[in-house]
Amino acid sequence: MKVAVVGATGLVGSKMLQVLEERNFPITKLLVVASERSVGKTIKFRGKRHKIISMTDAVAKKPQVAIFSAGGSVSKEWAPRFAEVGTVVIDNSSAWRMDPEKKLVVPEVNADVLTKKDKIIANPNCSTIQMVVALKPLHDKYKIKRVVVSTYQSVTGTGVKAVNQLMNERKGKQGDRAYPYQIDLNLLPHIDVFTENGYTKEEMKMVNETKKIMGDDSIRVTATTVRVPVIGGHSESVNVEFERDFDLDEVRNLLAAAPGVVITDNPAELQYPMPLFAHDKDEVFVGRLRRDESQPNTLNMWVVSDNLRKGAATNAVQIAEYLLEKGILKLKKKKAEAAL
């Protein structure tokens, strides 16, 4: 299995390498790919140093799978080039998510849509991923009518520059800024750019991606996305209106049995999901489960997950694992290449 990681030097790219190593993905040949300024440098993986190569060189080596985290413009240009040589691309940018010809996949929710014809597969937005993992078992049972979500998103979702801004501000140091305002001791109700309807792109991603992943355009979603001075994961306050009434104990049981979900819901012991505890974990943590007393058939819940892992790297690797499991990706028997 020849695997390329594109954008390997970024926050998500480095997390992808970590997750591939932790989950023991069967890599025979690893190609680490980054921008021209990084070509020739090395990255450590499974105890060995691997030289960073260019996009052109990576395409020429025809990897079986390429996991991208290099931004939308890079994905638009290069994902088709990899696909042309037979590579399956799993792309973490927003470039292909709403393309009607491309699948948008969260394995716990809709991996069954994938086929051998899918050469470019989109990884959803981080805040959407964790929400739909929690919504899926409830939608199957009670049918969701409407979702009202407010997010509290980690600075790691913006990248290294944002993390540095937060840490510099905390130390009283000057430095490059990722945000138009101070983020330490503050929050910004503004993620991505504003659109004509007054919502940000991030908010509209949650609206549109949720419908596509769940395969149900009747689900109404409204979102407010907020950047907070947190490292470790994104948190979401999710209000869900169902067509049918529910029993809270049954809701807990459904979520506890759902793949990728961990229930942390014991208010008497002050146990609830927090980024502090979600950090560097792959699960989606759900708590603060309670009935909305202002209207019927409506549930409030609090959903937290590590945005660099399940919200990005882990979800992409899980897609690759599913493709292997179903025989869509196949290990090649080739003695010439020793395992790493």
- Domain borders along the chain are 2-95+313-325, 127-307
Pairing relationship of beta strands 144-153 and 234-242 according to DSSP bridges: antiparallel
Average pLDDT over residues 73-96: 97
Is 234 a known active-site residue? yes
Domain covering 127-307, topology: Dihydrodipicolinate Reductase; domain 2 (3.30.360)
Is 190 a known active-site residue? no
Measured distance CA(163)–CA(159) in Å, rounded:
7
Average pLDDT over residues 229-254: 98
Statement: 2-95+313-325 belongs to CATH 3.40.50.720: yes
pTM greater than 0.85: yes
pLDDT value of residue 330: 83
Share of the chain above pLDDT 70, in %: 98
Q: Which of 75, 150, 53, 163 is nearest to 120 (CA)?
A: 75
Supply the mean pLDDT for the chain: 96
| pLDDT tens-digit map of 260-282 | 999 999 999 999 999 999 999 99
First to last CA, the chain: 11
Measured distance CA(62)–CA(268) in Å, rounded:
55
Active-site entry in 50, 139, 190, 234: 234
Average pLDDT over residues 291-317: 98
> Among 157-166, 191-200, 330-339, which stretch is predicted with the lowest mean pLDDT?
330-339
Pairing relationship of beta strands 234-242 and 298-305 according to DSSP bridges: antiparallel
Measured distance CA(94)–CA(76) in Å, rounded:
10
Active-site entry in 126, 139, 190, 279: 126
How does DSSP assign 285-311, residue by residue? Answer: EEEEEEE-TTSTTEEEEEEEE-TTIII
Measured distance CA(186)–CA(206) in Å, rounded:
23
Measured distance CA(204)–CA(80) in Å, rounded:
26
